[in-house]
């Protein structure tokens, strides 16, 4: 039976979690994104098309065929190392997207309650350098933005860094780098990783896999323990509708055709395996296994344990 903080009416704070070998992966919720996000982000996923994929409803789309999307991080302890994958939108950031602008969520309190106090985090993995994945890299301190995780190494793909360094960025993107990326780099906390085609280990049981297209250096994050495997998508797959229709691209993909090829490759490699797929923007139930269906793929949700906060 599936239960999660999303559907549980209980007032007891809790966080959804999944077991991968010895690891417990926890979803740290930031915000549910507004209903207008889906039609903007995935314009090809019309309500007609979504309604023709009944397994998406009610968890991943509403009865009208409007997609549900969320912002969250995944937190996992690996052999005593405390790892966070992506850092969401962040609080108090000046953003062009109204859903991201000047957010005031209790993400940091949820992180603490899940046992991941910011000062205890050892490694922050950034799947790519977009505003909704780097926001909690920093927090406001007076007029300044300071690293939220002062004792962590932050890592991103060198390909990703080099791409943005070579682009004539619009002001909104420059702002994002100023408030959420440069403070971490200036504090000496950012490591750029050369990600090999077959993947690169960044810690025991944590491997970055290149999944380019959405951005050139976008990575998926593979977690391995005791023969069990999970894969955090980053934005290689924004929403489960792209499993049924891997050709559907987001409006913010840098290279849409490459993104679709990557999606097909990732889904094809996972189909029929025991690997748990963890969606970086998938609303609850968020995780599952991949099956082939009707020339595409389907997500079969995996039971999530509800880990009491502080437990």
Q: Which residues bind Zn ion (CB under 5 A)?
A: 132, 235
Sequence-distant (6+) residues with CB within 8 A of 204 are 78, 79
Q: What is the closest distance, in whole angstroms, from the C-beta atom of residue 232 to Zn ion in the complex?
A: 12
Report the C-alpha gap between 154 and 55 in whole angstroms: 37
CB burial string 19-55: b at 16+ within 10 A, e below:
bbeebbbbbbbbbbbeeebbeebbeebeeebbeebee
Q: What's the chain's length in residues? A: 311
Nearer to Zn ion, 6 or 133 (CB): 133
End-to-end CA distance of the chain: 21
Nearer to Zn ion, 251 or 300 (CB): 251
Nearer to Zn ion, 135 or 301 (CB): 135
Q: What is the closest distance, in whole angstroms, from the C-beta atom of residue 235 to Zn ion in the complex?
A: 4
Q: What is the closest distance, in whole angstroms, from the C-beta atom of residue 132 to Zn ion in the complex?
A: 4
| Secondary structure E strands in 9-137 | 14-20, 23-32, 70-78, 81-85, 123-125
Q: What is the closest distance, in whole angstroms, from the C-beta atom of residue 28 to Zn ion in the complex?
A: 15
Sequence-distant (6+) residues with CB within 8 A of 109 are none
CA triple 79-80-82, angle to 5 deg: 110
Q: What is the closest distance, in whole angstroms, from the C-beta atom of residue 40 to Zn ion in the complex?
A: 12
Sequence-distant (6+) residues with CB within 8 A of 59 are 68, 283, 284, 285, 301
Contact 37, 68 (CB under 8 A): no
Nearer to Zn ion, 113 or 181 (CB): 181
Nearer to Zn ion, 30 or 235 (CB): 235
Nearer to Zn ion, 52 or 101 (CB): 101
Nearer to Zn ion, 51 or 105 (CB): 105
* H-only helix segments in the chain: 37-41, 47-51, 107-113, 131-134, 158-165, 171-176, 182-186, 241-244, 256-270
Q: What is the closest distance, in whole angstroms, from the C-beta atom of residue 229 to Zn ion in the complex?
A: 23
Q: What is the closest distance, in whole angstroms, from the C-beta atom of residue 294 to Zn ion in the complex?
A: 27
Q: What is the closest distance, in whole angstroms, from the C-beta atom of residue 61 to Zn ion in the complex?
A: 18
Q: Residue 68 pairs with which residues in a beta bridge? A: none
Nearer to Zn ion, 30 or 132 (CB): 132
């Amino acid at each position: 039976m599936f239960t999660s903080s999303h559907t549980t009416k209980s007032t007891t704070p809790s966080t959804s979690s999944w077991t991968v070998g010895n690891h417990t992966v926890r979803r740290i919720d930031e915000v549910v994104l507004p209903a207008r996000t889906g039609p903007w982000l995935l314009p090809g996923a019309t309500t007609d098309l979504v309604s023709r994929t009944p397994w998406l409803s009610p968890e991943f789309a509403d009865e009208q065929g409007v997609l549900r999307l969320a912002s969250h991080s995944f937190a996992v302890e690996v052999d005593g190392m405390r790892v966070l994958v992506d850092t969401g939108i962040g609080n108090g950031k000046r953003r062009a997207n109204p859903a991201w602008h000047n957010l005031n969520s209790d993400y940091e309190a949820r992180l603490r309650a899940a046992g991941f106090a910011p000062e205890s985090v050892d490694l922050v993995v950034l799947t790519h350098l977009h505003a909704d994945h780097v926001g909690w890299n920093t927090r406001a301190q007076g007029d300044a933005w300071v690293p939220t995780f002062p004792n962590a190494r932050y890592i991103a793909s060198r390909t990703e860094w080099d791409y943005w360094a070579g682009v004539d960025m619009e002001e909104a993107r420059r702002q994002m780098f100023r408030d959420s990326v440069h403070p971490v780099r200036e504090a000496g906390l950012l490591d750029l990783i050369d990600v090999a085609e077959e993947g690169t280990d960044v810690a025991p049981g944590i491997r970055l896999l290149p999944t380019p297209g959405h951005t050139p250096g976008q990575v998926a994050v593979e977690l391995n323990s005791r023969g069990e495997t999970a894969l955090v998508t980053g934005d290689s797959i924004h929403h489960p509708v792209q499993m049924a229709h891997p050709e559907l691209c987001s409006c913010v993909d840098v290279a849409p055709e490459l993104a679709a090829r990557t999606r097909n490759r990732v889904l094809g490699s996972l189909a029929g395996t025991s690997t748990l797929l963890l969606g970086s923007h998938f609303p609850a139930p968020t995780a599952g296994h991949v099956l082939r269906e009707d020339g595409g793929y389907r997500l079969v949700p995996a039971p999530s344990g509800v880990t009491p906060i502080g437990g």
